[in-house]
Structure 1
Amino acid sequence: MTALRKNREFTADKPRDTAARSPRLPRYTSYPTALQFGPLAGQDHVAWLRALPADEPVSLYFHIPFCDQLCWFCGCYTHIANQYDPVSRYLETLLAELALTSSLTGRKKVSHIHFGGGSPTILEAGDFERLMNAVREAYEILPEAEIAVEVDPRTLSREKVAAYGRSGVNRVSMGIQDFDDKVQKTINRIQTAGLIEDCLRWFRTAGIEDINFDLIYGLPNQTQETIRETVLQTVFYRPSRIALFGYAHVPWMKKHQAMISAETLPGQIQRQAMFDQARKTLVDCGYQAIGLDHFALPGDSLIEALDDGLLRRNFQGYTADKADTLIGFGASAISSLPGGYAQNSTDMRVYRQSIEAGESPVVRGVAVSPQDILVRQLISDLMCYQQVDPEARLRESGLSYDFTREFRALADLTRAGYMDRKDSMYRITEAGRPYLRAICSVFDNYLPANFEENPDILYRCLHESEG
Structure 2
Amino acid sequence: MTALRKNSDFTGQKPQVAPARQPRLPRYTSYPTALQFGELDGRDHMAWLGDLPAEDPVSLYFHIPFCDQLCWFCGCYTHISNKYEPVKKYLESLLKELAWTSSLTGRRKVSHIHFGGGSPTILEAEDFERLMSVVQEAYEILPGAEIAVEVDPRTLSRDKVNAYGRCGVNRVSMGIQDFDEKVQKTINRIQSTELIESCLRWFKTVGIRNINFDLIYGLPNQTEATIRQTVLQTAFYKPSRIALFGYAHVPWMKKHQALIGAEMLPDQAQRQAMFDIASRTLVDCGYQAIGLDHFALPGDTLLDAHDRGTLRRNFQGYTADNADSLIGFGASAISSLPGGYAQNTTDMKAYHQQTGVGESPVVRGVKVTAADQLVRQLISDLMCYQQVDPEARAREFGQSYDFKREYAALGELLDAGYMEVKGSCFRITEAGSPYLRAICSVFDRYLPANFEKNPDILHRCLHESEG
TM-score of Structure 1 vs Structure 2, range by shorter chain: over 0.9
Q: 1:187-202 alignment to 2 at 5 Å?
A: 187-202=187-202
Give the paired residue count. 456
- Once residues 224 and 318 of structure 2 are traced to their aligned partners in structure 1, the CA distance between those partners, rounded to angstroms, is 26
Contact between 1:61 and 1:115, CA under 8 Å: does it hold in 2? yes
Contact between 1:67 and 1:118, CA under 8 Å: does it hold in 2? yes
- Once residues 58 and 149 of structure 1 are traced to their aligned partners in structure 2, the CA distance between those partners, rounded to angstroms, is 17
Do structure 1's residue 308 and structure 2's residue 308 form an aligned pair?
A: yes
**By how many angstroms is 1:460 displaced?**
3.6
Q: 1:386-397 alignment to 2 at 5 Å?
A: 386-397=386-397
Contact between 2:114 and 2:149, CA under 8 Å: does it hold in 1? yes
Report the residue type matching 1:428 in the other structure. Answer: I
Contact between 2:383 and 2:440, CA under 8 Å: does it hold in 1? yes
Q: 1:77-156 alignment to 2 at 5 Å?
A: 77-156=77-156
Contact between 1:45 and 1:342, CA under 8 Å: does it hold in 2? yes
Contact between 2:24 and 2:465, CA under 8 Å: does it hold in 1? no
Q: 1:215-226 alignment to 2 at 5 Å?
A: 215-226=215-226
**By how many angstroms is 1:20 displaced?**
7.8
**By how many angstroms is 1:313 displaced?**
0.4
- The residue aligned with 1:257 is 257
- Once residues 419 and 272 of structure 2 are traced to their aligned partners in structure 1, the CA distance between those partners, rounded to angstroms, is 19
Contact between 1:311 and 1:318, CA under 8 Å: does it hold in 2? yes
- The residue aligned with 1:446 is 446
- SS of 2:450's equivalent in the other structure is coil
**By how many angstroms is 1:401 displaced?**
1.7
Do structure 1's residue 415 and structure 2's residue 415 form an aligned pair?
A: yes
Contact between 1:375 and 1:444, CA under 8 Å: does it hold in 2? yes
- The residue aligned with 2:75 is 75
Contact between 1:451 and 1:457, CA under 8 Å: does it hold in 2? no
- SS of 1:307's equivalent in the other structure is helix
**By how many angstroms is 1:269 displaced?**
2.1
- Once residues 277 and 185 of structure 1 are traced to their aligned partners in structure 2, the CA distance between those partners, rounded to angstroms, is 23
Q: For each residue in 1:210-256, what CA deviation from the matched residue of structure 2 results, as whole angstroms up to 9, or x when unmatched?
A: 00000011111111111111111111111000000111111111111
Q: Give the TM-score taking structure 1 as reference length.
A: 0.95
**By how many angstroms is 1:59 displaced?**
0.1
Do structure 1's residue 173 and structure 2's residue 177 form an aligned pair?
A: no
Contact between 2:438 and 2:460, CA under 8 Å: does it hold in 1? no
Contact between 1:21 and 1:460, CA under 8 Å: does it hold in 2? no
- Once residues 432 and 276 of structure 1 are traced to their aligned partners in structure 2, the CA distance between those partners, rounded to angstroms, is 15
- The residue aligned with 1:355 is 355
- Once residues 11 and 133 of structure 2 are traced to their aligned partners in structure 1, the CA distance between those partners, rounded to angstroms, is 52
- Once residues 103 and 363 of structure 2 are traced to their aligned partners in structure 1, the CA distance between those partners, rounded to angstroms, is 20
Q: For each residue in 1:58-93, what CA deviation from the matched residue of structure 2 results, as whole angstroms up to 9, or x when unmatched?
A: 000000000000001100000001100000000000
- Once residues 135 and 441 of structure 2 are traced to their aligned partners in structure 1, the CA distance between those partners, rounded to angstroms, is 38
- The residue aligned with 1:7 is none
Report the residue type matching 1:442 in the other structure. Answer: V
Q: For each residue in 1:173-229, what CA deviation from the matched residue of structure 2 results, as whole angstroms up to 9, or x when unmatched?
A: 000001111111111101111110010000000100000000011111111111111
- Once residues 176 and 27 of structure 2 are traced to their aligned partners in structure 1, the CA distance between those partners, rounded to angstroms, is 21
- The residue aligned with 2:45 is 45
- SS of 1:372's equivalent in the other structure is helix
- The residue aligned with 2:16 is none
- The residue aligned with 2:278 is 278
- SS of 1:23's equivalent in the other structure is coil
- Once residues 465 and 207 of structure 1 are traced to their aligned partners in structure 2, the CA distance between those partners, rounded to angstroms, is 41
- The residue aligned with 1:430 is 430
Report the residue type matching 1:171 in the other structure. Answer: R
- The residue aligned with 1:8 is none
- 1:454–1:225: structure 2 CA closer, same or farther, 3 Å change rule? same
- Once residues 23 and 137 of structure 2 are traced to their aligned partners in structure 1, the CA distance between those partners, rounded to angstroms, is 45
Contact between 2:45 and 2:342, CA under 8 Å: does it hold in 1? yes
Contact between 1:332 and 1:346, CA under 8 Å: does it hold in 2? yes
Percent identity between the aligned chains? 79
Contact between 1:151 and 1:172, CA under 8 Å: does it hold in 2? yes
- Once residues 139 and 14 of structure 1 are traced to their aligned partners in structure 2, the CA distance between those partners, rounded to angstroms, is 40
Contact between 1:246 and 1:466, CA under 8 Å: does it hold in 2? no
Q: For each residue in 1:413-453, what CA deviation from the matched residue of structure 2 results, as whole angstroms up to 9, or x when unmatched?
A: 12212111111111111122221111111111111323532
Report the residue type matching 1:269 in the other structure. Answer: A
- SS of 1:313's equivalent in the other structure is strand
- Once residues 314 and 76 of structure 2 are traced to their aligned partners in structure 1, the CA distance between those partners, rounded to angstroms, is 16
- The residue aligned with 2:289 is 289
- 1:266–1:457: structure 2 CA closer, same or farther, 3 Å change rule? farther
- SS of 1:449's equivalent in the other structure is helix
Q: Which runs of 5+ in 2 are unaligned?
A: 13-18
- Once residues 173 and 14 of structure 1 are traced to their aligned partners in structure 2, the CA distance between those partners, rounded to angstroms, is 22
Report the residue type matching 1:441 in the other structure. Answer: S
Q: Which runs of 5+ in 1 are unaligned?
A: 1-11
